[in-house]
Amino acid sequence: MISVLVIDDDSFICASLKTILEADPDITVAATGTSGEDGISLYERHCPDVVLMDVRMGALSGLDAGAMILDAHPGAKLLFLTTFSDDEYIVRALRMGAKGYLIKQNAEAVAPAIKAVMSGQSVFGGEVTSRLPAFISDRAKPDLSDRGISAREMEVVELVAKGLNNREIADSLFLSEGTVRNYLSVILDKLGLRDRTQLAVFYYTV
């Protein structure tokens, strides 16, 4: 059973999320709260598997509360659910180590996202991952050679980060799709990542 802490400054949304999540037999809501302060105190009290938290919440935002939770508990799994797709918020969530950032558009996707986070995946809605290149395009390219990534592998990483699929990467680098899949498998293994979404997030936040 996955225990979830739900934090949102709208008590109606808290109640709605609790109802939606507990309709899944694999999920239980340990507690709900309506502020960043609640998030911190309730995490200490319940030690949930996943924290589902809004971003904008009064004096102490969800991002600030999340950072404080991660400082005290580096293994905490934070999943932000918000109506705000502000680039600054997204970048902060990625860089602090959040496991996901979802836009409040499809409540039915929340339970699957929580399960994905529990399985070790990072979950970022398409609205977020599609914008990664745009809002961090001015950053210097990371040097991953010290992590064992070759120049050719780095080309694959960069194209994954730009959102290209395996066929598009193969066409761009004059490789077969099978070779691209092999490169990707080796890269993920070297970096200790699970999937191409994690790889894209890693590229833009390392």
Q: Does the domain spanning 2-133 belong to CATH 3.40.50.2300?
A: yes
Asked whether the beta carbons of 58 and 13 are under 8 A apart, the reply is no
Q: Tokens 């066929």, residue?
A: 167
**β-pairing, 27-33 with 50-53?**
unpaired
Asked whether the beta carbons of 43 and 30 are under 8 A apart, the reply is no
Please indicate whether the domains covering 2-133 and 139-205 agree at the CATH topology level: no
Q: Tokens 């833009």, residue?
A: 204
| pLDDT reading at 59 higher than 90 | no
Q: How far apart are CA 154 and CA 132, in angstroms?
A: 17
∠ Cα 72 22 46 (to 5°):
25
Report pLDDT digits (tens) over 174-187. 999 999 999 999 99
CATH pick for 139-205 out of 1.20.120.530, 3.40.50.1820, 1.10.10.10, 1.20.1630.10: 1.10.10.10
Asked whether the beta carbons of 200 and 94 are under 8 A apart, the reply is no
Domain boundaries, the chain: 2-133, 139-205
| pLDDT reading at 206 higher than 80 | no
Between 26 and 89, the higher pLDDT residue: 26
